Amino acid sequence: MNSHRFAPTLKLSLLLVALFATAAGAQEKPKAPSLREDLEKRFGDKVDIRLNQPYAGTTNTFQMLDLYLPKQRADSQPLPVVVHIHGGGWINGSRTGYASQAAGLAATGNYAAVSVGYRLSGEAKWPAQIHDCKAAIRWIRGHAKELNLDPNRIGATGGSAGGHLVTLLGLTAGVKELEGSLGEFTALASSVTCVVNVCGPTDMTTVLIPGATTDDPAVSGLLGGPVKDRIELAKAASPLTYVTASAVPIMTIHGTKDMRVNFTNAEKLDAALKKAGTTSLLIPVTDAGHGVPFGPELTGRVQQFWAMYLRGVKSEIATTPIQAPPPPVKK
């Protein structure tokens, strides 16, 4: 048999294989940048990015925080700090969800920013989540001198479950049952200076979802069982339980049509804080749901709040309702 007559066919086959391989390779999606790569590209010239800082004396990635320090500070004084705590029904979410917001705040040069992770309810039940958050605040204080941060000017913000946790930070300084004993700085305070609570639950003894007749599974998951069987634990997990005259200034932002956390949670907290004689700024976002849209007006009010209570810049902060923009029209 003459094998030479098969050579052109073999060459053609190899060429087609190479072409198909090249085409397949061209269709492969480029590798997505890592969080660090993305942040460095967007903020690296202005922000010193320090990810995965353990605050609880463990190697648990949920007990770590990300630190964002401005490379060019507004002045030489120790910086105030804004702590971000993520939502997700205490069962989902990650501190990386606040990465862009925290880095952007640090890029202004006026603040250091921190994004905190905490153990989710699938791993640990209440009060593990607030124990973690308080350990993170103590870690910030424990490192304040070396980082040139002001331990007396720490604000905290979070949405949904994160709003619940930051509100507790603002109301429970020194409450022994919620302090925990995590980390190396247990002798330091876990208090914060002010709080921005975005649609956080404040009364865990009632059903959160408007119109629902059964327990919220997120709350049951956090508490380890039905609320009716753990009513005292639900009270102990409710920010409303701890409202006193020593509460820090709290701004509450909440959608009036929130179908995940009833707007009444915001109203109850605002009424209790005002009755106690403390500073409460309730900003209703009319017709907004659980994902409150942050347009220029709302963002500006939050910036005023941080400037007033963390930097001493006096101003009048409006609390008039903000109309949510209409949903986009589906094409």
The tens digit of pLDDT for each residue in 149-198 reads 999 999 999 999 999 999 999 999 989 999 999 999 999 999 999 999 99
Q: Is the pTM for the entire model greater than 0.75?
A: yes
Alpha-carbon Rg for the chain in angstroms = 25
Say whether 177 sits in a helix, a strand or coil. Answer: helix
Task: Say if residues 252 and 270 touch (Cβ distance below 8 Å).
Answer: yes
Top mean-pLDDT range of 21-35, 104-118, 215-229? 104-118
Q: How confident is the model at residue 242 (pLDDT cuts 50, 70, 90)?
A: very high
Asked if the model's pLDDT at residue 3 lies above 50, the reply is: no
C-alpha dihedral sign at 105, 136, 265, 96: positive
First CA to last CA distance, the chain: 66
Average pLDDT over residues 48-77: 96
Q: Which domains does the chain have, with CATH numbers?
A: 32-323 (3.40.50.1820)
35 compared with 133, residue with greater pLDDT = 133
Residue pointed to by tokens 């085409």: 23
Asked if the model's pLDDT at residue 29 lies above 70, the reply is: no
117: how many CB neighbours lie within 10 A of its CB? 23
Asked if the model's pLDDT at residue 223 lies above 50, the reply is: yes
pLDDT of residue 15: 43
In the sheet where 47-54 sits, what is the strand order? Answer: 47-54, 64-70, 112-116, 79-85, 149-159, 194-198, 250-255, 280-286, 322-323
pLDDT of residue 6: 44
